[in-house]
Structure 1
Amino acid sequence: MTQPQPTAGTLTTESGAPVADNQNSATAGAGGPLLLQDQYLLEKLARFNRERVPERVVHARGSGAYGHFEVTDDVSAYTGAHFLGEVGRRTETFLRFSTVADSLGGPDAARDPRGFALKFYTEEGNYDLVGNNTPVFFIKDPLKFPDFIHSQKRDPFTGRQEPDNVWDFWAHSPEATHQVTWLMGGRGIPASYRHMNGYGSHTYQWTNASGETFFVKYHFKTNQGVRCLSSEQGAELSGTDPNSHQTDLLQSIERGVYPSWTLYVQVMPADEAADYRFNPFDLTKVWPHADYPLQRVGRLVLDRNPDNVFAEVEQSAFSPNNFVPGIGPSPDKMLQGRLFAYADAHRYRLGVNHTQLAVNAPRAAASNHGRDGLMAVNPQGRYARNYEPNSYGGPVETGRPLSAPLPVSGWTGTHQAPQHTKDDDFFQAGELYRLMSEDEKARLVANIAGGLSQVSREDVIEKNLAHFHAADPHYGKRVEEAVRELREG
């Protein structure tokens, strides 16, 4: 997308009138008070007061870049999505990286999950894939999401993140043990955005041209290699260069070193989901690669920096309900909650017409009956009708659903997810621990103990220790001993 270049000319007000003096306000005589009639002064100050929009509640601090995705392997047997339908096909993309818990002013090198939000500008509309740099998450039901985030954000009284709050929530949420092991382990602080993997995290549905359905998980493997920082390195870098990841991404692209990722998917035939040994729609679980191997799809390359971080990174809006034909949702509860929450967050932050902003606008023609609202453009003209059906032409429905229907049954009400034969909150956390080298285990234990030892309540410490013991007895014993040593030291 070609950007207009600045040109020399006459400075004007927002209404286009020429500005006579941009150095001195109008006053009542030399040295006198300012005049209310100085409309240019009032315009500049009023706009300055409104330069920022509400900060994202989560994922506030972020960086982004444009690029393209190219299909390298035929996956048409699994999905009818046009942008994935032919080897060699390229689709323009925009990728926003972020930290999750801290505010817009937080450091890039914090121990925190990283957002990996990818927008595909496809010929059938925008497809948004909103994921993280971890394949799992702390909770499995969106009803707990506001509580979880409140426990991780700054305390209302102290104004800082409190270990008591962080670990108290985790103590009462045993399903978080797997993600806590990821977060506190060696990959908890990526060295840069270029040196981390990205995951769709959720389970999604793919439907092929014949109507066959599959459930899939996305894995973006960095081609730069995974590189991470220790807690000590992260703390030092946060103090010396809080913008470290932003600077690294910007400078690498500017000098022509374009970061890239290879996309793989795990594919599960839909009829295998019900009898799988654990719930395949549980966001706290991974699918073992031995059961569903990685299948290569294509290559993602970032090759252009935004010209304006606010306009293109802060105003970028991603929502997992932006699907295209051939791709749809699964019964994943967290995904279902995010289908509403993400789009609603952007309507609050940016207004109902945020999809008309350049970074969010689809490259495919958008044609619907949405009208008015804040910052409305309404380009449809005098003869367009904003209702359907009508007798005057205009956009009409296709009758073709984007994805296959999901079967449902049972009574309405609040239910726990149905139990599969191997559903467990701790087994995969233990598997992850047992995969680690001795050095990785030592750093994991030190990172957990460093935070848990600061908790003031013994019962909260004991609840958390029980989770690590349940994951692996050796894991729990080492964490318990490290916490005791720090508290007694």
Structure 2
Amino acid sequence: MTYITTASGIPVADNQNSITAGPRGPLLLQDFHLIEKLQHFNRERIPERVVHAKGSGAYGTFTVTHDITRFSKAKIFASVGKQTPVFLRFSTVGGEKGSADTERDPRGFALRFYTEDGNWDLVGNNTPTFFIKDGIKFPDFIHTQKRDPQSNLKSAQMMWDFWSRAPESLHQVTILFSDRGTPDGYRHMDGFGSHTYSLIDTKGGRVWVKWHFKTKQGIRNLSATEALRLAGADPDYAQRDLFNAIDSGDFPCWSVEIQVMTDAQRVEWENRTGWDAFDLTKVWPQGDFPRQPVGVLELNRNPANYHAEVEQAAFSPSNIVPGMGYSPDKMLQARLFAYHDAQLYRIGANHQHLSVNQPRCPFHHQQRDGAMAIENGGAAQNYDPVQSGLPASDGFGHGDAGWELGGAAGRYETRVDDDYYTQAGNLYRLLGGDAKRNLVENIGGSLSQADPAVQDRQIAHFMKADPSYGNGVAAAIRELQEKRDR
């Protein structure tokens, strides 16, 4: 028979009644079991993520199906058929922890590979682009997605004022307000690494890559009406769908693919198009850089405890393994710092000691002490001596050869004479008639809540992407205003 104990393992005589001075009290401070329960209850919540606060997670496997060892020495890709355990956390981006799963929002797609050379975290979204391309604007942008400081309400005025002054956001805004902005759960959407990363081969050669995860369940989206209905009827719709599917043995899968660009191709492509290969607001056209298959991702095990394994999961794109590298993408560079720093604040200095964050391979470092130092390195030496005369990189460790830098240090304006409109217009023209109509109606419903100056500024961007895009949004706003005036 299992009996109740304190956290220190001491058997509890009575878990139903407090110790009191007489039948009617007051309580006695000596009732440590009562005090411990209340103290822990008051501390049960850790700070929620500033973004990606509400999420769902599952474990699974990544299986290599195609040989890419010519691009990367990473052991995870060493042979066809090789399997690596993974953990994947899906999320909405802007909403709080109690928000609805079906809100119009990008979806986080944060994937951890537990490799024999440490954890590789590929922290992306269900979109290949983003709203901004420089991390210095990230806090400003996210503030517009949160709550007005006076009313504490979500504000379409704040959102559209920001977007209308940041035309580089147009591509992502088009994705967000299309049917893809309300995916039907997490199983029926694609994932993307979004940023440009790199792969390093055995000789130190580099190629630039973008990661794609194509759902094998087929793309399914919710209409704006159905998403709104589910937000009230079942705000945990995506969580429920994912958990129940895995629990019943219907394991969701994605094909894992990459786009590859050599540096010589990058120079030629940038000169030809005028686009920056590292700009997060742009995609690499698949006609120029076709997707190449790598493997299959399968989710096949639900966490046993949500808080321990999903809420405390701590990802960072800075976690790469030998055979991989970063890129000059300014948003990626900012995230390399910000994500790990967020986990230090949210969970603590030793968050990597937690099971979901701990590497599955042997590890050794000199980090010691701090809160929740579970093993704390034991008796091992807590410093690394100064050594000289060590050989150059022998391929062990990251082995990133780096990339050539040029120019003086300074703040450079990258929005001058940039092309914000071609890719957004191309995406609009790819949509079918119903999808176009849904897009302009979704935008019209939101943009109509902003003031006329913001509306005019934003519609001007749509017009430059495609005149029928701008005219469609303007007509949707007029129709809504006429209904309100009746």
Give me the TM-score of the superposition, normalised by structure 1: 0.94
Q: Could you tell me how far apart the structure 1 residues matched to 2:338 and 2:144 are?
A: 19
Q: Could you tell me how far apart the structure 1 residues matched to 2:183 and 2:415 are?
A: 35
Report matched runs for 1:73-88 at 5 Å: 73-88=66-81
Output the aligned Cα RMSD. Answer: 1.5
1:423 Cα deviation (Å)? 4.4
Q: Is the 8 A contact 1:189 1:228 kept in 2?
A: yes
Unmatched 5+ stretches in structure 2: 388-392
Q: Is the 8 A contact 1:67 1:304 kept in 2?
A: yes
SS at match of 2:37: helix
Report matched runs for 1:60-209 at 5 Å: 60-209=53-202
Is residue 325 from structure 1 mapped to residue 322 from structure 2 by the alignment? Answer: yes
Deviations 1:159-195 (A, max 9, x none): 2211111111111110000000000012110111000
Q: Is the 8 A contact 2:101 2:231 kept in 1?
A: yes
Deviations 1:389-445 (A, max 9, x none): 179xxxxx97754422121111111013498xx941111000000000011100000
Name the residue aligned to 2:447: 452
Q: Is the 8 A contact 1:324 1:402 kept in 2?
A: no
1:91 Cα deviation (Å)? 0.2
Q: Could you tell me how far apart the structure 2 residues matched to 1:163 and 1:302 are?
A: 36
Report matched runs for 1:290-309 at 5 Å: 290-309=287-306
1:322 Cα deviation (Å)? 0.2
Name the residue aligned to 1:475: 469
User: Given the alignment, which residue of 245, 249, 253 partners 2:242?
Assistant: 249
User: Given the alignment, which residue of 407, 414, 429 partners 2:424?
Assistant: 429
1:478 Cα deviation (Å)? 1.2
Letter in 2 for 1:51: E
Name the residue aligned to 2:346: 349
Unmatched 5+ stretches in structure 1: 1-7, 392-396
Name the residue aligned to 2:390: none
Name the residue aligned to 2:355: 358
Aligned residues: 473
SS at match of 1:176: helix
SS at match of 1:273: helix
Q: Is the 8 A contact 2:324 2:398 kept in 1?
A: no
Deviations 1:271-295 (A, max 9, x none): 3223422101000001000000000
Name the residue aligned to 1:3: none
Q: Could you tell me how far apart the structure 2 residues matched to 1:128 and 1:401 are?
A: 14
SS at match of 2:338: helix
SS at match of 2:121: strand
Q: Could you tell me how far apart the structure 2 residues matched to 1:244 and 1:80 are?
A: 40
SS at match of 1:480: helix
Is residue 59 from structure 1 mapped to residue 52 from structure 2 by the alignment? Answer: yes
Q: Could you tell me how far apart the structure 1 residues matched to 2:37 and 2:453 are?
A: 56
1:140 Cα deviation (Å)? 0.4
1:482 Cα deviation (Å)? 1.5
Give me the TM-score of the superposition, normalised by structure 2: 0.95
Q: Could you tell me how far apart the structure 1 residues matched to 2:35 and 2:54 are?
A: 31
Name the residue aligned to 2:332: 335
Q: Could you tell me how far apart the structure 1 residues matched to 2:139 and 2:245 are?
A: 36
Is residue 386 from structure 1 mapped to residue 382 from structure 2 by the alignment? Answer: yes
1:388 Cα deviation (Å)? 0.9
Report matched runs for 1:264-275 at 5 Å: 264-275=257-268
SS at match of 1:187: helix
Q: Is the 8 A contact 1:279 1:423 kept in 2?
A: no
Q: Could you tell me how far apart the structure 1 residues matched to 2:251 and 2:322 are?
A: 30
Q: Could you tell me how far apart the structure 2 residues matched to 1:207 and 1:476 are?
A: 44
Q: Could you tell me how far apart the structure 2 residues matched to 1:388 and 1:272 are?
A: 42
1:24 Cα deviation (Å)? 0.4
SS at match of 1:144: helix
Letter in 1 for 2:59: Y
Q: Is the 8 A contact 1:205 1:403 kept in 2?
A: no
Q: Is the 8 A contact 1:125 1:324 kept in 2?
A: yes
Report % sequence identity.
Answer: 54
1:93 Cα deviation (Å)? 0.2
1:465 Cα deviation (Å)? 0.4
SS at match of 1:274: helix
Q: Is the 8 A contact 2:170 2:424 kept in 1?
A: yes
Q: Could you tell me how far apart the structure 1 residues matched to 2:98 and 2:125 are?
A: 20
SS at match of 1:211: coil
Q: Could you tell me how far apart the structure 2 residues matched to 1:296 and 1:227 are?
A: 22
Letter in 1 for 2:476: A
Q: Is the 8 A contact 2:133 2:281 kept in 1?
A: yes
Name the residue aligned to 2:41: 48
Q: Could you tell me how far apart the structure 1 residues matched to 2:403 and 2:346 are?
A: 32
Q: Is the 8 A contact 1:323 1:402 kept in 2?
A: no
Letter in 1 for 2:230: L
Q: Could you tell me how far apart the structure 1 residues matched to 2:148 and 2:407 are?
A: 41
Distance 1:144 1:18, change over 3 A: same
SS at match of 1:483: helix
Name the residue aligned to 2:213: 220
Q: Is the 8 A contact 1:207 1:327 kept in 2?
A: yes
Q: Could you tell me how far apart the structure 2 residues matched to 1:437 and 1:259 are?
A: 28
Distance 1:49 1:139, change over 3 A: same
1:104 Cα deviation (Å)? 0.3
Q: Is the 8 A contact 2:368 2:377 kept in 1?
A: no
Q: Could you tell me how far apart the structure 2 residues matched to 1:251 and 1:381 are?
A: 41
Deviations 1:240-278 (A, max 9, x none): 000100000000000000000001100001232234221
Letter in 2 for 1:387: Y
1:157 Cα deviation (Å)? 1.8
Report matched runs for 1:22-41 at 5 Å: 22-41=15-34
Q: Could you tell me how far apart the structure 2 residues matched to 1:159 and 1:400 are?
A: 48
Letter in 2 for 1:437: G
Q: Could you tell me how far apart the structure 2 residues matched to 1:402 and 1:121 are?
A: 19
Letter in 2 for 1:359: V
